[in-house]
Amino acid sequence: MSLAFVKYHGTGNDFIMIDDRVQNFEHRYAHRITSLCDRHTGIGADGLILLQNSDDYDFKMVYYNSDGALGSMCGNGARCIVHWAKELGIIKEKTDFEAPDGLHQAWFDKDEVVLAMADVRAIEANAYGIFLDTGSPHQVCIEKRLEGLDVTGKGRTLRYDVFGKEGANINFVAPAKDGGFALRTYERGVEAETLSCGTGATAAALAMHHLSLSSGPIVVLKTLGGNLKVSFDFSDGLYSNITLTGSATAVFNGLWL
């Protein structure tokens, strides 16, 4: 049986999107996620996202990493599924939806999707920089420059040797020449550098503020796939009203045979 899909990307972070409102994907196809995401013999993607019905909200987002494992929150993927939900007529300009880390709100600002993120209080300094959880665990490492950095090699070492089997996403941040910060990310589950990471951009923005390297409350992160904007409020050690803003682009649709 063929499988209909849509290919999306959010600033280069790409996803296979499946309309699973009848909820038969996990029964029939879950064992083939790695094949679907393979860039040589499949569709190719950093991850796969199911759009399912929700009992209480507009829809439910289920995220799989390209290695076939259920993933934690994916900020870029969430922005993409919100864009697609509008194209499907499920939502209009605003939405409340279920994601891997709980309820999220999102809305449109012209051509971009604005995603409300969960509050963050726990930020830990360690020998490698800053660790925090923005729906997914992130290590933020401060660099003088990112050009020539072995993101995959250094990222894989930290991901496994420091954080063990469960791992963490590893972000490398440096001041950008024309303002904001340059960001490159090694993602667990993909086990490689991706062109962009939404929860990583959020983590980097909060880490820069925490270290007094950014005054906030709006931080621009420049990824290999494009710019992401993170805004937030900060009071009494709590980061709240966090939003992640960026593009979400439909690339093509098709049938996987």
Q: What is the CATH number of the domain that holds 27?
A: 3.10.310.10
Q: Are residues 31 and 129 in the same domain?
A: no
Q: Are residues 187 and 240 in the same domain?
A: yes
Q: Are residues 130 and 86 in the same domain?
A: no
**Distance set, CA 255 to CA 32, 90, 189, 212, 250 (Å):** 14, 22, 25, 49, 15
Residues that are catalytic:
74, 197
Say what the pLDDT of residue 44 is: 98
CA torsion sign for 24, 28, 29, 30 is positive
Say what the pLDDT of residue 51 is: 98
> In which domain, by residue range, is 223 found?
123-246
Long-range contacts of the stretch 231-235 (C-beta < 8 A, 24+): 232/205, 232/206, 234/209
Would you call the peptide bond into 217 cis, given omega within 30 degrees of 0 as the criterion?
yes
Alpha carbon 7 to its chain's center: 15
Say what the pLDDT of residue 26 is: 85
Q: Are residues 174 and 234 in the same domain?
A: yes
Q: Which residues pair with 245 in a beta bridge?
A: 114, 229
Q: Are residues 11 and 110 in the same domain?
A: yes
CA–CA separation, 16 vs 48, rounded Å? 5
**Distance set, CA 97 to CA 38, 47, 90, 101, 214 (Å):** 28, 19, 11, 11, 31
Q: Are residues 222 and 252 in the same domain?
A: no
- Do the beta carbons of residue 66 and residue 32 sit within 8 Å? no
CA–CA separation, 206 vs 212, rounded Å? 10
pLDDT tens per residue across all 257 residues of the chain: 689 999 999 999 999 999 999 988 988 888 999 999 999 999 999 999 999 999 999 999 999 999 999 999 999 999 999 999 999 999 999 999 999 999 999 999 999 999 999 999 999 999 999 999 999 999 999 999 999 999 999 999 999 999 998 899 999 999 998 889 999 999 999 999 999 999 999 999 999 999 999 987 999 999 999 999 999 999 999 999 999 999 999 999 999 98
Question: For the whole prediction, is pTM greater than 0.85?
Answer: yes
Total domains in the chain come to 2
According to DSSP, the β-strands at 60-65 and 129-133 are unpaired
**Which residues, at least 6 apart from 66, have a Cβ–Cβ distance to it below 8 Å?**
33, 34, 37, 45, 46, 47, 48, 189, 190
DSSP type of residue 30:
G
Q: Are residues 108 and 137 in the same domain?
A: no
Q: Are residues 162 and 239 in the same domain?
A: yes
Q: Are residues 100 and 140 in the same domain?
A: no
**Distance set, CA 70 to CA 66, 67, 170, 176 (Å):** 9, 9, 19, 34
Which single residue is written with the structure tokens 């009848």? 22
Q: Are residues 86 and 134 in the same domain?
A: no
Say what the pLDDT of residue 1 is: 65
Q: Are residues 91 and 147 in the same domain?
A: no
Say what the pLDDT of residue 179 is: 84
